[in-house]
Amino acid sequence: METEDLYKVLGVSKEASQEDIRRSYRKLAREHHPDANRDDPRAEERFKEIQHAYEILSNPEKRRQYDEGPRAFFGGGGPGRGTAGARVDDLSDLSDLFGGFGGLGDIFGRSTRATEASRKGQNITATVNLSFKDALNGVTTRVNVPVEEACGDCGGTGAAPGTSPRTCPECGGRGVRSRDQGFFAFSEPCVRCGGEGTIVEKPCRTCSGSGRLRKARQVTVRIPAGAKDGMKIRVPGRGSAGKRGGPAGDLNVVTRVGEHPVFKRRGDDFVVEVPVSFVEAALGAQIQVPRPGGGTVRLRLPAGTQDSKQFRVRGAGAPKARARSGERGDLIVRARLVVPKKLKRREREILEALAEERDEDVREELFKKVGS
Ligand SMILES: [Zn+2]
Ligand SMILES: [Zn+2]
């Protein structure tokens, strides 16, 4: 079995952009959908070929492997398709094709006319990288957002200027067909028009008939003080433009916060390890501890402080990003005992005197436990 040229299957050139590939796939999938070709037994196979080609070419990594040589790509596992664990990971594309159908509301026919009405634009997720300091203090930043906007040349209709889309003859503009399934009356998207309810005969050249253009838009986003890594900030109405006058989607900004070499974040608290000399630990001491965001706090170590003992300094942590009261988390100080690597002569004498003075067996407990 010979491997077909996947580019040919999708009717695109080897240089085609991801967008070209997506567009061509949507068009072909619509044309060759088995439901639209009930009389043609070969349609299903053709549809599968198209899907398969898209699975690979829409994935930049798989596409690269494929470009480097079908042999390498298909591996030693024998010829044919169903290869390399290919799967439709771009399901959004198919559901998109059918215009967001499939909810219960559709089964019960509640929103069968949804396609004629306006539709909310896509929600977009964008990531913003923040320094430790900006996340702590809060910052107003600009985020690049890839959004879809209505094409200006055709006013978002997808039809070439001077023409207009025509009502789909298959569904009469409803965008859906009803199918009786006994108890339920099923609604399913019209395959002819892809659920749009209209058909474009002469596509607009600017947007290739999609009515939409991808654009990078800069959106100003206010990051609250104390933002955590992975926090989601919703900016309503700053996603993709709606369809047919529908509301715009939302922008979800996800924060990525760089690590700090000293302060580790734990919820709204920060943890800091602070070296403590064995004299301070034994006798007790007042020490200065660095504070996230600058400055220091004073901490009283009690006499007999053990290694790894933790102390909580209330309110010296991160501002609670979700709270309005200006509340802050705590700073957790972990004492780390430092033993001198070298001793001065005088120090050595003192410690030797101490060793004689103190007949202590620190391993007594240990051996007791071993024996029992
Ligand atoms: Zn239709
Ligand atoms: Zn256009």
Q: Tens of pLDDT along 112-152?
A: 344 445 678 889 999 999 999 999 999 999 999 988 888 88
Cβ atoms of residues 128 and 221 within 8 Å: yes
Q: If you measure from the C-alpha of residue 232 to the centroid of ligand 2, how many angstroms do you get, rounded to a whole number?
A: 33
Which segments within the chain are labelled E, that is strand? 124-130, 139-150, 166-167, 176-181, 184-189, 198-199, 212-223, 232-235, 251-257, 264-266, 269-277, 285-290, 296-301, 310-313, 331-338
Residue 181 is predicted with a pLDDT of 64
pTM for the whole thing? 0.56
For the segment 18-30, the average pLDDT, to the nearest whole number, is: 85
Q: If you measure from the C-alpha of residue 36 to the centroid of ligand 2, how many angstroms do you get, rounded to a whole number?
A: 26
DSSP-based three-state secondary structure for 67: helix
Ligand that comes closest to the CA of residue 153: 2
Q: If you measure from the C-alpha of residue 18 to the centroid of ligand 1, how many angstroms do you get, rounded to a whole number?
A: 27
What is each CA distance from 87 to 15, 53, 79, 248, 284, in whole angstroms? 23, 11, 17, 31, 64
Residue 305 is predicted with a pLDDT of 97
Mean pLDDT over the full length of the chain: 81
Q: If you measure from the C-alpha of residue 27 to the centroid of ligand 1, how many angstroms do you get, rounded to a whole number?
A: 14
Residue 133 is predicted with a pLDDT of 92
Question: Ligand 2 (ion): which residues have CB within 5 A?
Answer: 151, 153-154, 204, 206-207
For the segment 227-231, the average pLDDT, to the nearest whole number, is: 93
Residue 117 is predicted with a pLDDT of 52
* Per-residue pLDDT tens digits for 240-291: 888 767 788 999 999 999 999 999 999 999 999 999 999 999 999 999 999 9
Q: If you measure from the C-alpha of residue 174 to the centroid of ligand 1, how many angstroms do you get, rounded to a whole number?
A: 7
Q: If you measure from the C-alpha of residue 154 to the centroid of ligand 1, how many angstroms do you get, rounded to a whole number?
A: 21
* Per-residue pLDDT tens digits for 61-75: 888 877 776 444 443
Task: Say how many C-beta atoms besides its own lie within 10 A of residue 306's C-beta.
Answer: 8
Model confidence at 45, in pLDDT bands (50, 70, 90)?
confident
Q: If you measure from the C-alpha of residue 207 to the centroid of ligand 2, how many angstroms do you get, rounded to a whole number?
A: 4
What is each CA distance from 222 to 219, 225, 321, in whole angstroms? 10, 9, 12
Q: If you measure from the C-alpha of residue 286 to the centroid of ligand 1, how many angstroms do you get, rounded to a whole number?
A: 78
To 5 degrees, how large is the angle CA 242–CA 124–CA 51? 90
Number of DSSP helices (H) and strands (E) in the chain, helices first: 11, 15
DSSP state of 153: T
Percent of the chain at pLDDT > 90 equals: 40
Q: Count how many residues are written for the chain.
A: 372
Ligand that comes closest to the CA of residue 148: 2
Q: If you measure from the C-alpha of residue 203 to the centroid of ligand 2, how many angstroms do you get, rounded to a whole number?
A: 7
Q: What is the largest CA-CA distance in the chain?
A: 103
Question: Ligand 1 (ion): which residues have CB within 5 A?
Answer: 168, 170-171, 190, 192-193
Model confidence at 194, in pLDDT bands (50, 70, 90)?
confident
